[in-house]
Amino acid sequence: MTTWHPSISKRWFVAAIADKIGHKPLAVTVLGRPLVLMRLDSGIVAMEDRCPHRQVPLSAGRVTPTGIECAYHGWVFGADGRCKAVPGLAQGDCLPKVGARTIAVRELDGMVWVRLAAEGDAAPPEMVAKFLPDSRKFLNQLHWRGYIVDVIENFLDPLHTHTVHPGLVRKPDAPRSAVRVKLDITGEGFVVNYRDQAAQSGILFRLFESPRVSEKLHFAGAGSAQIEYVYANGSVIRITLHFTPETQDHTHVFTTMHVENRWAPRWAVRWLVYPFLHKVARQDERTLELQAMNQARFPGKRGVSTRLDIVRANLEKIWEQGEPLTDADAVPESVIYL
């Protein structure tokens, strides 16, 4: 059974895309814990995916006006988890004082977020709540094989783009430029600033972008990461990935793109931009799968980090040590070549 540091359960993770939760219960697994999501009149509800009577998965049942009905004996549990009905009881008999365990749940930016611990972070990362209305251009869910720290690091690491995404993000044979990089600690996690990189050599930049003013990598909570590009023409593009471990080596990735102050209808992003981004994602998926397979071949071995791997130590501190980041975890400005 997969185990996680207890502090991780206090964080919010994306469990599903909200539009996928309709009139049928949806089974999901977050941090190794089976859950069921359902939409009632009161809103979206999350519970442990088991009936307390005979342990049958509630996701095999059906949603009723009063709650979710177990597929085995028809017991019904309301939005608060309490038992609302037991078929076969005589009139006047008391209902069993048992209930299905409910999970904290929020709907935000088209996604359903859950927090497994009864107490913890009050809400999902603030950076998600700051998105402007109607700025989201697409929302997608992927399933990658890989350890959560490796998967998040992949998204935040620009140094692999020459070899893993040749031509798409950067040309492998293009001269590298000196870029200043600095990591600062924030209230939600950390931010990495890249300076002196107004352009990239790959086809994605040449087709869809323009000179940049700044490039930042934001990390918040335990599994939300975002690349923010601010352009000289006043537009902003934010590509955000929310990482939710299903097990120790399988991770769900929920991807959004938000565009501000630039002509970018959803149909144009979906049919023109997304195919390129999807190819980039498939290349990363393949690399992470190779990494996970080789880690299984060499159990217990750990990778070696250099000063170029500026996010790794902070990710391990959050996920493996369960400790909050402090100013001592900041990384002073240095020069790398991209």
CATH code of the domain in which 71 resides: 2.102.10.10
pTM > 0.85: yes or no: yes
Regarding whether 137 and 109 lie in a shared domain, the answer is: no
Output the pLDDT for position 132.
85
Pick the range with the lowest mean pLDDT from 113-117, 139-143, 171-175, 189-193.
Answer: 171-175
Is 108 found in the same domain as 227? no
In a domain, 328, yes or no: yes
Give 197's pLDDT tier (boundaries 50, 70, 90). Answer: confident
pLDDT at res. 174: 83
Helix or strand (DSSP H, E) at 291: helix 274-297
DSSP character string of 204-232: HHHHH---EEEEEEEEETTTEEEEEEEET
What Rg do the C-alpha atoms of the chain give, in angstroms?
Answer: 22
List phi, psi (to 5°) of 239. Answer: -105, 120
Model pLDDT for residues 32-63, shown as the tens digit of each residue: 999 999 999 889 999 999 999 999 999 999 99
Same domain for 69 and 11: yes
DSSP 271: I
Same domain, 311 and 243: yes
| Tens digit of each residue's pLDDT (9 = 90 or more) over 231-279 | 999 999 999 999 999 999 999 999 999 999 998 999 889 898 989 999 9
14: β partners: 113
Q: How confident is the model at residue 2 (pLDDT cuts 50, 70, 90)?
A: low
Range of the domain at 160: 126-337
Closest CA to 146 of 301, 287, 252, 292: 292
As for how many domains the chain has, the answer is 2
Q: What is the pLDDT of residues 5-41, one digit of tens each?
A: 999 999 999 999 999 998 899 999 999 999 999 999 8
Structure-block tokens of residue 236:
């902003």
Same-domain pairing of 132 and 101: no
Distance CA(200)–CA(154), nearest Å, equals 18
pLDDT one-digit tens code per residue, 98-133: 999 999 999 999 999 999 999 999 999 998 988 888
Using CB atoms within 10 A of its CB, is residue 224 exposed (0-12), middle (13-18) or buried (19+)? buried
Q: Is residue 111 part of a domain?
A: yes
Helix (H, G, I), strand (E, B) or coil at 132: coil
pLDDT in tens, 134-161: 899 999 999 999 999 999 999 999 999 9
Burial class (CB in 10 A: 0-12, 13-18, 19+), 155: buried
Residue 68 contacts residue 38 (beta carbons within 8 Å): yes
